[in-house]
Amino acid sequence: MTTEVDYYELLQVERTADDATIKSSYRKLAMKYHPDKNAGCKESEAKFKAISEAYDCLKDPQKRAAYDRFGHAAFQNGGGGHHGGQGDFGAFSDIFESVFGEFMGGGRGGGRQQRRGADLRYDMEISLEQAFHGHSTEITIDVSGPCETCHGSGATPGTKAKTCTTCGGHGKVRAQQGFFMVERTCPTCHGAGEVIAEPCRSCRGEGRTDKTKTLKIEIPPGVDEGTRIRLSGEGEAGARGAPAGDLYIFLHVTRHSLYERQGTTLYANAPISFTTAALGGEIRIPGLDGEEHVIKIHPGTQSGREMRHRGAGMPVLQGRGRGDLVVRLEVETPTKLTAKQRELLEEFRKTETGEECPQSSGFFAKLKAALG
């Protein structure tokens, strides 16, 4: 299981973006997250590496074509070319050939085509606490799997598929069109190179039947809205023994009652009394980590001021460290006063000189001057 973020989302461009747009967006993001400008920030370092990897793929027309069709699977098992070396291009070559093979004379190994099973999508809701700590859960899905009767072959037990006589087992046929020789998928066997004379009754020759299965999902700490988890081979089974597709889990983080999240930074609005704002003090904020974080209030704090608490935010996905907690202070005016409190405030008002609140006194002075 791997956690993958879409390359286009990383570079903040549409899937239809041209090369110039992708390059321009990459340069802006690279300047923003470059390690030289964010010394010691693990989050920026991880972000810089991720966008560099995304740009390395999307700037190459062949890699981008393969990624658009197969996603991150195009670069699994050493096929990505991100690490250099001639051996890295073997799997990528296979994918490139499957994308462009129809236009370039077919593939290797006789040209047989195995119809890989379809990829599946599953949308899952998790809480912000689960996104913080990570989460282990199980899901039940209806999906096609290999037929138990024919073990995925599609043929009645005791029989075998026969070589297609139309294409001679190659899976493709050639036809002359003017000066060109055109190669197409065989219309009889549909690229399999074989035909089944006696189809399995359980799966009607498909080699797969509908099933219900339960899967265990491990969600790592730090995931965000839209994070995609890929379960290789857990999608639809391929026809007649072909490889299965993948299952993609798309995560959706529900709204939290206290915290608002932006990347690895957590924001919280905290009301404070006007006396605390005037005289100073401290408040305690319950963190997602189970600890209470003390926020010190300086005397004369104004409503809307933000106080940053380092390292109390969300974990960095697949990295080290945590973001920050930012508390927005909102000064609350009392609405219910006792007689004693009202008396004390009246005494305070009598002693006001205007210097206690320079912004308001300055505003009214400007207003008076403007009106002559």
Q: pLDDT tens digit string along 277-321?
A: 999 999 999 999 999 999 999 999 999 999 999 999 999 988 889
pLDDT at 354: 74
Q: Per the annotation, where are the binding residues? A: 147, 150, 164, 167, 186, 189, 200, 203
The identity of residue 351, as a single letter, is: T
pLDDT at 282: 93
Domains 115-151+202-254 and 259-335 share a fold: yes
DSSP readout, 87-100? GGHHHHHHHHHHHH
Residue 367, helix vs strand vs coil: helix
- Is residue 114 scored above 80 in pLDDT? no
pLDDT at 86: 35
Span 124-139, mean pLDDT?
95
Q: How far is CA 222 from CA 62, 83, 133, 134, 135, in A?
A: 32, 26, 7, 7, 10
Q: Contact, 261 vs 253, CB < 8 A?
A: yes
pLDDT at 15: 85
Task: Name which of 3, 27, 25 is nearest 12 in CA terms.
Answer: 25
Of residues 75 and 38, which shows the higher confidence score?
38
Q: Which CATH number fits domain 259-335: 2.40.30.170, 2.40.50.100, 3.30.300.30, 2.60.260.20?
A: 2.60.260.20
Which residues 6+ apart lie within 8 Å of 292 measured at CB?
A: 284, 285, 286
CA–CA separation, 133 and 140 (whole Å)? 23
pLDDT at 116: 81
Confidence of residue 353 (pLDDT cuts 50, 70, 90): confident
Determine how many CB atoms are found less than 10 A away from the CB of residue 213. 11
pTM of the model: 0.59
Q: Per the annotation, where are the binding residues for Zn(2+)? A: 147, 150, 164, 167, 186, 189, 200, 203
Q: Could you read off the pLDDT of 168-222 as tens digits, one per residue?
A: 888 888 887 767 778 888 888 878 888 888 999 888 888 888 889 999 999 999 9
Q: How far is CA 136 from CA 130, 131, 147, 168, 320, in A?
A: 9, 11, 30, 50, 20
Span 6-17, mean pLDDT?
88
pLDDT at 98: 40
- Is residue 85 scored above 70 in pLDDT? no
CA–CA separation, 209 and 230 (whole Å)? 23
Question: Which of 11-25, 155-169, 178-192, 264-278 has the weakest average pLDDT?
Answer: 178-192
Which residues 6+ apart lie within 8 Å of 141 measured at CB?
A: 120, 122, 212, 213, 215, 247
- Sequence ranges of the domains in the chain: 115-151+202-254, 259-335
**Domain at 115-151+202-254: CATH architecture:** Sandwich (2.60)
pLDDT at 82: 41
- Is residue 102 scored above 60 in pLDDT? no
pLDDT at 367: 67
- Is residue 90 scored above 50 in pLDDT? no
Span 13-17, mean pLDDT?
87
Task: Name which of 14, 10, 84 is nearest 47 in CA terms.
Answer: 10
Span 19-43, mean pLDDT?
86
Average pLDDT taken over every residue of the chain: 83
pLDDT at 281: 94
